[in-house]
Amino acid sequence: MPAIQPSALSLLKSVYPFSDLDNATLNLLLPYLEQREVVADEVIFEPGQHAGAFYFILAGKVEVYHYRNKLPVPLQFLRAFDHFGEDALLQKKRQTGAIARSSATLLSISRPALERLSFESSIIKRIFHMFASTYQNYCRKDCVWREPAETTYLQLRRHPFTLWAKLLPILLITLLVFAGLLFLAFTSVHLALLCLIAALLTLFLGGSASAWEVMAWRNEYFVLTKDRVLVQKLLVGVFESRQETPMSAVLSVELATSFIGRLIGYGTVTARAYTGNLPIRHIPDPDLLYAYLEYRRKSILADQRRREQETMHSLLENRFHPERTRSTIPAPADADVPTKVNYYTDTFSDLLARFFTLRLEKEDSIIYRTHWWILLRKLFLPSLCLLLIVVLVLSTALALLKVDATFIYSLAILAAVVSWAWWFYEYADWRMDVYIITPDQLVDVNVHPLGKEDKRSAPVKNIQTVEYKRNGLIGMALNFGTVSIQIGNERLTFDNVYNPSAIQMEIFNRFREFSERSRKLEEKHMTDWFTTYDGIRHEGESDA
């Protein structure tokens, strides 16, 4: 077994779960760790190979991939202090492959060692189970909203107890009613057929309700990535929502459990961000989730401090030893450029969205309008009036109505003028209400034709949570809903917009871009300060 180097041993406390283990548990784990050095582009393992070990990254970058349609597709981009190879926790064959994208230092735990550790330590067993559950979930569920380089750390469902707590009453009532109706069907003389049909209908409704609850449970996820923490829900045909908070905006994490929750092993973990709180309810092993969220939050703060120190060190080196340093400060290696959101595809619904110009890019801003279904609802009554006027005029012209034609035509002209004015008013009211995303602001413009104009705006930098919802069968079928943004004490909503999940992603990308611009601006300010300092120092030397 390759010995762990002292330098690697000093990094252990920066890696989860080693960072949260007590000394006794850590000493139990250390004998099972093996160190491995890999070079750039070295294949660590491939899909289908024996799952012999679970890995932690101490330094370097690793890409995890899987095959889709016989082609390798990237699944995760991992960095220092991340882990991979969870197949060793689950099965004997690899579902995914891993390749080093730079020289890397790895710590591995063999499959037999994992089994022994799980037997000897309950906390390690629970942590490994959390990692394995996340791995299974993100292999099965493709999160289309995730950026290519946005690493998924956790992806968990609610505790199964919450599912059974809903299923058991449904199943019990269904079986009792079904048994009662079936008994009546066999004992009743006159209502036998009616009772049998009612029994079968009860069984069908109970089964449908149970299947509905199972689908709702399977489609509700908590996800923690490198950049955000979110809860995603989907109830087929009823609603879809995703509520998320940037990790950089999370100020603290709170854990709450009930007596039953502590007995069974579930609770609520809340990510707090100023006034925007994101509760993660009925999650299994809430203490582990709480610890991991705190670990990620503190890691982000530590990484920000490290970048600031590196920037300051580079600036000072450039000033005092220009011959030994580069003239420019490199961007952080981990800085990710947000990818372009695919708002339109080639579906019929997207063609209609293009026709009605529901999304428009103008310079650096993106302009949205409410869905065309809202326009049709606004235009329904004036259009109906115009149709009735046409029917009335045609009926009069064809002598189907025995009335004074002059009076009908005069009335029709007046009604047509009023109806067309109403029609254009409603159209203008729809078209002039817009939502705008600028590089640094979110704007809600509500204009009433011939009336007042309401305009609300909020800075992108203060975004705390972003949530979208699609409610009802029409909203799900036509893909429109509401995007809600918590900004400080204010809540801004983009109501009835097309493709709300894509809009949520675009808002999140603007937040990331603004954060990156702010970081670069701070570096420029530092450079300007040192330039000013050098100028003052040279002036002092000249005067001397």
pLDDT band at 331 (very low <50, low <70, confident <90, very high): very low
Q: What is the pLDDT of residue 420?
A: 93
Please give the Cα distance from 525 to 518 (Å, whole number): 10
Please give the Cα distance from 73 to 101 (Å, whole number): 15
At 412, list the tokens. 């029709």
Evaluate if pTM is beyond 0.85.
no
CB 53 within 8 A of CB 109: yes
pLDDT at 299 over 80: yes
| Percentage of residues of the chain with pLDDT beyond 70 | 90
pLDDT at 344 over 70: no
Average pLDDT of the segment spanning 128-151 = 85
Min mean pLDDT across 53-67, 123-137, 301-315, 468-482 is at: 301-315
Q: What are phi and psi of 156, to 5 degrees?
A: -130, 150
Condensed to tens digits (0 to 9), the pLDDT of residues 166-218 reads 999 999 999 999 999 988 888 877 788 898 899 999 999 999 999 988 988 98
Q: What are phi and psi of 233, to 5 degrees?
A: -130, 145
Work out the mean pLDDT of the chain and round it to a whole number: 84
pLDDT at 524 over 90: no
CB 110 within 8 A of CB 52: yes
pLDDT band at 335 (very low <50, low <70, confident <90, very high): very low
Condensed to tens digits (0 to 9), the pLDDT of residues 58-103 reads 999 999 999 888 888 899 999 989 999 999 998 889 999 999 999 9
Please give the Cα distance from 461 to 516 (Å, whole number): 11
Average pLDDT of the segment spanning 43-63 = 93
Residue with tokens 């920066």: 14
Contacts of 293-299 spanning 24+ positions with Cβ under 8 A: 293/224, 293/229, 293/250, 293/253, 293/269, 294/253, 295/16, 295/19, 295/20, 296/153, 296/224, 296/247, 297/247, 297/250, 297/252, 297/253, 299/81
Please give the Cα distance from 253 to 293 (Å, whole number): 7
pLDDT at 403 over 90: no
Condensed to tens digits (0 to 9), the pLDDT of residues 228-269 reads 888 888 776 677 788 888 887 788 899 999 999 999 999 999
Condensed to tens digits (0 to 9), the pLDDT of residues 463-498 reads 888 888 888 888 888 889 999 888 877 788 999 999
Q: What is the pLDDT of residue 68?
A: 85
pLDDT band at 325 (very low <50, low <70, confident <90, very high): low
Q: What is the pLDDT of residue 323?
A: 61
Alpha-carbon dihedral sign for residues 289, 291, 292, 294: positive
Please give the Cα distance from 544 to 532 (Å, whole number): 19
Q: 101 vs 274, which has greater pLDDT?
A: 101
